[in-house]
């Protein structure tokens, strides 16, 4: 039946459209190959490149796309002179198609690993907070319990981690919790961690000079890149004190680059407290940043139950998070203190 006829029927009978489209999705006409094809078109941007990536001909791609659009009674892509771009219908369908394909891949991998006598693989994403103590400790506990379990750690920006999680490329993420997340994700707080100013051991600032924020402007700084939560919070601290941002600064999110600069130069940086506490070459400055604290925890997809491997890691993350929460309370009471 032509797509335009279906669209006319949808407009003529709006009350039965949701049930009608759902029935068509489940009556056998929609195939897994359709989902693969639609996501390939979205990834490649043209029907020709999608055909090449799938090792099929363009007419097969065109016919397959037409079949999906007829099932959905909606156009998924807008045809442009140099390719295609998803319509609002296409954006919604493509996102769900990616999730379905990710679930199928995960199911196949889980069966393979179970047949091989392994618990499986867990892929976890992280960004700075939580990557220094929480995640390594949880992984160590997990591997002691399940030596054959494979843990894959991927680092990325918070936005990238969310997208990988939605696409099914990650089982969970560990790090700072966001004020808002997509509706298909949920967050669980494990502990809170203050942000502190840090400099290398032997830095001139430790030699008795003032450590008020205004006095620290005499040194070079490392700042988070723009459009990150920590950058906005640091800017707010400087604004509240009536100070400009450091003129001599490097903007960086790479922990390896950041730490190397910290231990080899006289830069100052704002870091989660436990990163500095656990690093013998760094010292925490007494300068207060009381307005900056971050909740550290895990982010999980709502519509995907954790695999056995992911559930096992989650259990260890909760256990280690509780220990770090107790340690932070001890710091707050003055029963323990950062080196410096």
- For the segment 158-210, what is each residue's pLDDT rounded down to a tens digit? 888 999 999 889 999 998 888 788 899 999 999 887 888 999 999 999 876 67
CA atoms within 13 A on the CB side of 314: 16
> Are 186 and 209 within one domain?
no
Domain end (from 72, 96, 120): 96
Domain contains 126: yes
Supply 4's token pair.
């335009």
As a whole number, the mean pLDDT across the chain is 84
The pTM assigned to this predicted structure is 0.56
For residue 116, report the phi and psi dihedrals to the nearest 5 degrees.
Answer: -85, 0
Do 72 and 205 belong to one domain? Answer: no
Tokens of 114: 């179970």
State whether 172 and 301 are in the same domain: yes
Among 96, 131, 147, the domain boundary falls at: 96
Same domain for 149 and 179: yes
- pLDDT bin (cut points 50, 70, 90) of residue 340 is very low
- Domain region containing 285: 192-294
Same domain assignment for residues 290 and 217: yes
Residues 322 and 174 in one domain: yes
Chain segment 293-324, per-residue pLDDT in tens: 678 899 999 988 888 889 999 999 999 999 98
Residue 177 lies in a domain: yes
For residue 225, give the CATH number of its domain.
3.40.190.290
Would residue 147 count as lying in a domain? yes
338 is a domain residue: no
Residue 339 lies in a domain: no
Q: Indicate the number of domains in the chain.
A: 3
Q: Are residues 136 and 265 in the same domain?
A: no
What digits encode the pLDDT tens for the residues 135-151? 999 999 999 988 888 89
**Segment holding 309, helix H or strand E:** helix 308-333
Domain match, 260 and 173 both = no
CA nearest 129: which of 200, 162, 177, 163? 177
pLDDT at 113: 66
CB 161 within 8 A of CB 173: yes
Q: How far apart, in whole angstroms, are the C-alpha atoms of residue 220 and residue 247? A: 8
């Amino acid at each position: 039946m032509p797509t335009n006829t279906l669209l006319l029927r949808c407009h003529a009978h709006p009350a039965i459209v949701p049930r009608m489209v759902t029935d068509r999705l489940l009556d056998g006409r929609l195939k897994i190959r359709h989902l693969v094809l639609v996501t390939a078109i979205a990834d490649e941007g043209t029907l020709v490149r999608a055909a090449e990536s799938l090792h099929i001909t363009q007419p097969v791609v065109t016919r397959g796309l037409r079949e999906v659009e007829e099932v959905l009674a909606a156009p998924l892509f807008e045809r442009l002179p140099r390719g295609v771009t998803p319509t609002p219908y296409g954006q919604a369908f493509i996102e769900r198609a990616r999730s379905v394909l990710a679930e199928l891949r995960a199911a196949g991998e889980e069966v393979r690993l179970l047949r091989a006598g392994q618990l499986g693989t867990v892929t976890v994403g992280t960004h700075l907070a939580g990557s220094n103590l929480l995640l390594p400790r949880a992984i160590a506990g997990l591997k002691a319990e399940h030596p054959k379990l494979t843990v894959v750690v991927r680092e990325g920006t918070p936005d990238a981690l969310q997208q990988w999680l939605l696409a099914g490329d990650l089982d969970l993420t560990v790090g700072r919790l966001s004020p808002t997340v997509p509706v298909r994700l949920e967050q669980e707080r494990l502990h809170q961690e203050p942000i502190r100013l840090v400099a290398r051991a032997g830095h001139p600032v430790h030699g008795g000079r003032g450590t008020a924020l205004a006095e620290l402007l005499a040194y070079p700084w490392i700042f988070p890149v723009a459009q990150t939560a920590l950058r906005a919070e640091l800017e707010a601290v400087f604004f509240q004190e009536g100070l400009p941002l450091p003129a001599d600064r490097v903007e960086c999110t790479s922990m390896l680059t950041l730490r190397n600069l910290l231990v080899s130069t006289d830069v100052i940086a704002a870091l989660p407290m436990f990163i500095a506490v656990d690093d013998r070459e760094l010292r925490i400055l007494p300068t207060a940043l009381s307005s900056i604290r971050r909740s550290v925890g895990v982010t999980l997809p709502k519509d995907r139950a954790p695999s056995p491997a992911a559930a096992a890691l989650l259990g260890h993350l909760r256990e280690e998070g509780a220990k770090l929460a107790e340690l932070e309370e001890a710091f707050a009471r003055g029963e323990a203190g950062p080196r410096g």
